[in-house]
């Protein structure tokens, strides 16, 4: 935007907005351009407000020559995240998002991308299935038999995005995901390694991974209950139904989390009551640490979808932010009460991973993330 006022002329730089069709492309643009030099100027890239997108993109890159992130020389092409000059670190003494030191201890990210070549995708899937079926010996045999074959470079060239996809696909299936449904939250594949960002499952605006058409129809039928509600309030039947769904979120099944998340987004007009139900279930003293983590994952899913084009969905993020101190103070107390050292450390890492995801989404101010993470050190 060209400067118009004296104040804009005095800032000695220009600003512009660029709108992408999906968040993944926007994230890649920020990672690739933030801090880069362009005609003698340093680019400062950050998230802007949500805007309406057209039905068709104004400009489309040639998919036969995809624009990929430049190689870093690290395994899986891992890189340091660049988010407005902040980086999430993995050092014991550093709180999440509270350091600007660009050193070797900075947490690295592996962005998993599905290859555009569908033949290569099918080959990778075939390889993964046979390695899982026959074991690592089959992988070693395949590497030796296909040496020099460009189609199987994903087996040995660790810096390729195809290799990252291959490794993630195998890890995903071995940990209970299916071929068409997988957990799309950031995770650690191994201790003190980079944080992995799986490819997203496109299911419209809401990320309701395992919701069937029958369940979706049930959600829409609940609109009838609004006739018995006052504005910004849940009806009695709606609240009872939501409480039951939240209580069923007690394990790693994505379907239960997705079901409760979709209900919360659909009833965002009653954000305070929705948030109260979730927080009361999480703060329940009789709930196990695993149950509490599952409820925290539910909160994360709701926050992820609070930017969806649903009326008043933004209220959910605002309502959760008011109770973050209470939630993480209790979670920190639960962590300290776990006697087994390894279990306690696993519990702490799960919470830190959630905060890392929120930082990546720029869900809350940096000061808030720092304050919450300080309780877990």
pLDDT of residue 3: 66
- Residues 48-68, mean pLDDT to the nearest whole number: 62
Domains of the chain: 16-67 (no CATH), 118-197 (1.10.10.790), 213-374 (1.25.40.90)
| Residues 106 and 87: beta-carbon distance below 8 Å | yes
Asked if the model's pLDDT at residue 201 lies above 80, the reply is: no
Q: Note the pLDDT of residue 183.
A: 80
pLDDT 10s digits, 134-158: 888 999 999 999 988 999 999 998 8
* Residue 65 confidence (pLDDT) above 60: no
Spell out the residues 6+ positions from residue 344 whose beta carbon is closer than 8 angstroms to its own.
335, 336, 338
Residues 298-324 as b or e (16 or more Cβ within 10 Å = b):
bbbbbbbbbbeebeebebbbebbeebb
Burial of 144 (0-12, 13-18, 19+ CB in 10 A): exposed
Among residues 60, 67, 164, 59, which one has the least CA distance to residue 111? Answer: 164
Q: 76-85, 151-160, 183-192 — which one is most confidently predicted on average?
A: 151-160
Phi, then psi, of 164 in degrees rounded to 5:
-60, -40
In this structure, the dihedral spanned by the alpha carbons of residues 304, 308, 314 and 320, taken in order and rounded to 10 degrees, is -20
Q: How far is CA 275 from CA 61, 65, 228, 272, in A?
A: 41, 45, 20, 5
Burial label for 218, CB within 10 Å (0-12, 13-18, 19+), is: middle
User: Which of 109-118, 136-145, 176-185 has the lowest average pLDDT?
Assistant: 176-185
Average pLDDT over residues 104-120: 78
Among residues of the chain, what percentage have pLDDT more than 90?
30
Q: What is the mean pLDDT of residues 288-296?
A: 92
238-258 pLDDT, tens digit per residue, is 899 999 999 989 876 677 888
Nearest CA-CA partner of 292 in 258, 341, 329, 267: 329
Q: Provide the H-helix boundaries in the chain.
A: 6-10, 23-33, 118-134, 136-145, 161-174, 213-221, 236-247, 254-266, 271-283, 289-304, 314-321, 324-337, 341-361, 366-374
Is 217 exposed, middle or buried, given 0-12, 13-18 or 19+ CB atoms closer than 10 A?
exposed
pLDDT at 263 over 50: yes
Q: Is 70 exceeded by the pLDDT of residue 101?
A: no
């Amino acid at each position: 935007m060209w400067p118009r006022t004296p104040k804009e002329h005095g800032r000695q730089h220009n600003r512009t907005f660029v709108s992408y069709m999906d968040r993944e492309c926007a994230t890649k643009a920020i990672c690739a351009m933030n801090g880069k030099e362009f005609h003698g100027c340093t680019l400062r890239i950050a998230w802007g407000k949500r805007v309406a997108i057209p039905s068709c993109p104004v400009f489309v890159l040639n998919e036969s020559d995809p624009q990929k992130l430049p190689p870093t020389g690290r395994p899986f092409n891992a890189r340091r995240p660049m988010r407005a000059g902040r980086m999430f670190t993995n050092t014991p003494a550093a709180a999440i998002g509270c350091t600007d030191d660009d050193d070797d201890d900075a947490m690295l990210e592996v962005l998993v991308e599905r290859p555009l070549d569908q033949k290569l995708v099918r080959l990778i899937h075939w390889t993964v299935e046979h390695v899982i079926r026959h074991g690592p010996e089959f992988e070693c045999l395949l590497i030796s038999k296909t040496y020099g074959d460009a189609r199987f470079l994903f087996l040995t060239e660790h810096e390729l995005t195809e290799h990252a996809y291959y490794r993630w696909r195998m890890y995903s299936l071995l940990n209970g995901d299916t071929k068409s449904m997988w957990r799309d939250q950031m995770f650690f594949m191994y201790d003190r390694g980079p944080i992995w960002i799986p490819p997203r499952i496109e299911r419209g605006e809401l990320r309701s991974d395992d919701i069937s058409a029958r369940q979706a129809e049930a959600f829409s039928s609940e609109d009838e209950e609004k006739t018995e509600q006052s504005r910004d309030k849940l009806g009695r039947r709606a609240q009872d139904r939501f409480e039951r769904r939240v209580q069923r979120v007690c394990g790693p099944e994505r379907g239960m989390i997705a079901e409760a998340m979709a209900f919360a987004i659909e009833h965002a007009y009653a954000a305070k009551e929705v948030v109260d139900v979730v927080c009361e279930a999480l703060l329940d003293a009789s709930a196990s640490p695993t149950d509490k983590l599952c409820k925290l994952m539910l909160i994360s899913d709701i926050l992820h979808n609070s930017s969806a084009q649903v009326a008043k969905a933004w209220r959910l993020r605002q309502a959760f932010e008011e109770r973050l101190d209470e939630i993480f103070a209790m979670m920190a107390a639960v962590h300290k009460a776990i006697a087994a050292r390894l279990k306690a450390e696993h519990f702490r890492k799960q919470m830190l991973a959630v905060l890392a995801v929120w930082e990546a989404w720029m869900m809350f101010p940096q000061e808030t993330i720092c304050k919450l993470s300080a309780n877990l050190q």
